[in-house]
Structure 1
Amino acid sequence: MSAAYQISSCIEWQFAEAGELDARLRAAKAAGLELAEFHLWRDKPVDAMAQALAETGMRLTSLCVDPRRSIVDPAEREEMVTAVRETIAATAILGKPNLIVASGFRVEGMSEEEHFANAVAALRAAADEAEAAGVMLLLEPLNTQLFATMYLVSTTLGLDLVEAVNSPNLRLLYDVWHSAVMGEDMAQVLKGRMHLVAHVQVADMPDRNEPGTGSLDWADVTRTLRDLGYAGAIGLEYFPTLPMEQSLEQSRRMLAD
């Protein structure tokens, strides 16, 4: 049996009873976790979180580039690259976590080829900033159930973009829930390309709750990740339905392989 995956709590949605995110980091540590992640940073107590990380030894796996700007709309490219640059600077005190980039929405009247070319150009410029700072960017495909006109809702397309940019500082965030919503075959879309994936997030279908509350076969998920060579952390990006101690216990059990 392989060693269990390290798990990372999405403190945006978990340990809410603890209060602000710095207190949630301490609560996650008290629950036996070493890793955490959250979403946007500009409305968060970044300095207090840095102190909590220093005190607890916790590490952030990821957070989002803030503000979110389109990678496919040339009119937003400068703002998008600026957001990456500012996020890198502002979150350096948090240990240079991976920074998540979403695609933005489709541009009416723009061809698929133009969408792709614009995305590559924006991501290349963003990757230049990441390379200079020694930070990893994570490109995240989402889904059309939540975002009807989102450009990047395909793992295959996301991996194609990562390959086209060809930067060691740009990788894919594979979210099991988003992928399942889009009806993807996990093994098929990731086969031969897992080296391009730097983080995995999980939630059960259909309601985005903890593993074991829905229809996904978690033994199959973890086996597929192992078989394809994934050895990184797994982010628990779900809305808990149980008290956190029980929720974590269930997640660990479901994600054991």
Structure 2
Amino acid sequence: MKIAACIEWMFADAGEDLPSRIRAASAAGVKAVEFHLWREKPLDAIEVALKETGSQLLSFCVEPRRSLVDPADHEAVLAAVADAIPVAQRFNSAMILASGFTRPEVPEQEQFDAAVTVLKRAAELAGQAGVVLWLEPVYMVINGQRMFVDTVRRGLDIVAAVDSPALRLLADAYHSAQTQEDFVAAIGYRMPLIGHVQVADTNGRHEPGTGDIDWTSIMKALRQKGYEGAIGLEYFPTVPDSASLAMSRDALGL
């Protein structure tokens, strides 16, 4: 397994601009990077840095962010995916979607079905373009409402129901831990449905090894279950770049 770094949060010692952070990550042996929203990013300069270093932009988020569980937002979701597809093709990157918040007045099954319906259409768009979508369970609470998909288990249920090779799950161990979910048990036998794994420790969302998560057990289970993708470091560093990366590698055994 290789490491990928969220360059919006990591390698800040190299400066504010993302191309410089890509070069710093590469110099540290990290040849895959990720960032969040894409529209305001300096894509041309990022492409130069990626080519110069032989690195890859592994993923970015579809924007604007809209709800998968509200049919009123579905056309906006599909338009956002369509806008992101040329970027995904340009960089050979995955596109990340989150579900949106629960709708307290709507039955749970109806929201589940709505997410499946729009993701089938989105996956068809992505598949026709030769790119992939990753559904990310995100633990977030605003005004008492949680994201509808905030556990690995529910995310995998939705990916399985969509049943498309153009849609996989982004399993984030930090968000899973926030819900008190057993990350390994939630994956179960469905590792083939997982496209990517991201990590950060609780509490505080810092380096693996700074909190309560049992990384030895998680990494052992990922290997035993046949995961061969990248491990995305998506955390707020507590120490300078080189020390932070060393801490993470040690905790993860990478």
Q: TM-score, normalised by structure 1?
A: 0.94
Kindly indicate whether residue 15 of structure 2 is the aligned counterpart of residue 33 of structure 1.
no
Q: Show the 5 A alignment for 1:77-116.
A: 77-93=74-90, 95-116=91-112
| Of 168, 171, 174, the match for 1:174 | 171
Superposition misfits of 4+ residues, deviation over 6 angstroms = none
Distance in 1 separating the partners of 2:251 and 2:214? 9
Q: Show the 5 A alignment for 1:157-172.
A: 157-172=154-169
Q: Does the 8 Å contact 1:46/1:91 carry over to 2?
A: no
Alignment RMSD = 1.4
State the 1:217 CA deviation.
1.6
Q: Show the 5 A alignment for 1:72-151.
A: 72-93=69-90, 95-144=91-140, 148-151=145-148
Partner of 2:208: 211
Ranges in structure 2 where 5+ consecutive residues have no aligned partner: none
Partner of 2:8: 12
Q: Aligned residue pairs: how many?
A: 252
Q: Does the 8 Å contact 2:151/2:175 carry over to 1?
A: no
Paired amino acid for 2:98: A
State the 1:149 CA deviation.
2.5
Deviations 1:189-228 (A, max 9, x none): 1110011001000001111000111111211111111122
Distance in 1 separating the partners of 2:165 and 2:193? 9
Partner of 2:185: 188
Q: TM-score, normalised by structure 2?
A: 0.95
Residue 201 of structure 1: SS of its match in structure 2?
A: strand
Residue 123 of structure 2: SS of its match in structure 1?
A: helix
Ranges in structure 1 where 5+ consecutive residues have no aligned partner: none
State the 1:145 CA deviation.
5.0
Residue 5 of structure 2: SS of its match in structure 1?
A: strand
State the 1:15 CA deviation.
1.4
Residue 146 of structure 2: SS of its match in structure 1?
A: coil
State the 1:108 CA deviation.
3.6
State the 1:115 CA deviation.
0.2
Deviations 1:37-92 (A, max 9, x none): 01000111111111111111101111111111111111110010010110112343
Identity of aligned residues (%): 49
Q: Does the 8 Å contact 1:190/1:228 carry over to 2?
A: no
Deviations 1:218-247 (A, max 9, x none): 111111111222111100000000101110
Partner of 1:245: 242
Q: Does the 8 Å contact 1:29/1:56 carry over to 2?
A: yes
Q: Does the 8 Å contact 1:172/1:197 carry over to 2?
A: yes
Partner of 2:219: 222
Distance in 1 separating the partners of 2:109 and 2:93? 32
Distance in 1 separating the partners of 2:243 and 2:69? 41
Q: Does the 8 Å contact 2:4/2:30 carry over to 1?
A: yes
Paired amino acid for 1:230: Y
